Amino acid sequence: MQLSSIPINEPERLQAVKSYKLQKNQNDVNFNNITDLACSITQIPNALISIVEKDEVWFKSAKGMEICSSDRNLSFCSYAVASDKDVYIVENAKKDLKFINHPFVKDAEKPIVFYAGVCLKDKNDHKLGTLCVIDHKENTLNDEQIESLQLLSKQVVKLIELNKSNTKLKQTKRKLIKKNKMLKSFASQVAHDMKMPLANMILTTDILKSKYQKNIDDKGLSYLINIKDSSLSLSNYINNLLNYYENSSVDKKNVTSFSFNQLLEEVIDILNIKVNCTINIPEKDFDIVTNRAALELILLNLITNSLKYNDKPEIIIDIDLKTENENFNYVTVTDNGIGIPKEKQKKIFKLFSTVEETDRFGQKGHGIGLSTVKKLVTKLGGNISVKSAVGKGSCFSFSLKK
């Protein structure tokens, strides 16, 4: 049995069907909801969402019928797609000369007697398939029911187009993840390769100063000092980059219970503070459960910034922990430093963004620390924010998911 005709734009129509890359399954609740509604609105027991391909018609959703696909030459939906009309109705196939000898009408245990298909037309007027209702007896639809089916068919097309967009987004995401991994690997490799030459430069300048100091004038010594300072600055920059790429990936399963105050004391010891500074830790200690290494790196960066970007004779840093919330721990790090201008507060968590040209020690910041902090806090299921006033200080607040 052959179709009486095929659409005039069949090559373009088939290309359009192929471009949507729909999966051949019937487990999408969004499509199934539409066939449920179609049956409910028309009071007809069977509804299908069909996709008409070159040789096959397959069904994205099937309500009331256990069917996955059909030969295109036998499918009523093929007639609907080939028709000049957008709504194709056969009220009684047993009396229709086109279908009277059709195997689905003549020989089937449950014959198709009534068929109403609304074409699924995309934005380019390509008929992708149909939303159809099927009965095993003669039936009719009123104008309101037909209009409702047309509205539902538009929703089907929107779902198909949304599926295409989501597929593209997933593909783009996979490509970005792959490129990101390549960039991380490249940055890490370059950083590692640069560390040894820099170490040699620093060591060489120290040897030159020690061994040939009597033969070098003050200007020459200043050059050596500049070389060493620049090398140390670049080495610090590289270490921060490695820190950003290697340590900002947090294993959420690698969590332990530990004393918050003890961690703070260890961080303060690591910093080996040489300036006049008072750090106030919480009066009451709490055990918290999170990734200890990640929290240590967060606190190291925040306290270091409070030390570096401070112009007061005595640096004061207050650290507080709130554990009352059922889902989150909240940590604040407050200082009396130089503060952050309001227009820069939104940018400070971006990679390579800096507030000042140099810190209190004359060193130029690289804008990596706070971006690492934000990345780590996000990985730990929390958020970070800052409140600051120029000349008065800053308060960084972040949450950690329990």
Helix ranges, 111-217 (H): 143-211
Residue 372: CB atoms within 10 A of its CB come to 22
10-170 CATH, one of 3.90.440.10, 3.30.470.20, 3.50.50.60, 3.30.450.40: 3.30.450.40
C-alpha 370/C-alpha 310 separation (Å) is 16
Whether the pTM exceeds 0.85: the reply is: no
C-alpha 211/C-alpha 203 separation (Å) is 12
**Nearest to 46, CA basis, from 132, 107, 170:** 132
Q: Do the domains at 10-170 and 249-401 have one common CATH topology? A: no
Q: Provide the token pair at 365.
A: 């910041």
C-alpha 137/C-alpha 114 separation (Å) is 6
Q: Tell me 381's DSSP state.
A: T
- Write down the pLDDT at residue 138: 96
Fold annotation for 249-401: Heat Shock Protein 90 (3.30.565)
Domain locations in the chain as residue ranges = 10-170, 249-401
- Write down the pLDDT at residue 346: 81
**CB distance 211 to 204 below 8 Å:** no
- Residue 363, phi then psi, degrees to nearest 5: -95, 140
Mean pLDDT by 10 residues, the chain (402 residues): 70 94 92 97 97 95 94 92 94 92 88 96 95 96 97 96 89 83 71 74 84 84 82 70 59 82 91 90 94 89 92 95 94 95 86 63 67 89 94 95 90
Q: Which residues 6+ apart lie within 8 Å of 380 measured at CB? A: 250, 252, 290, 291, 294, 295, 400, 401
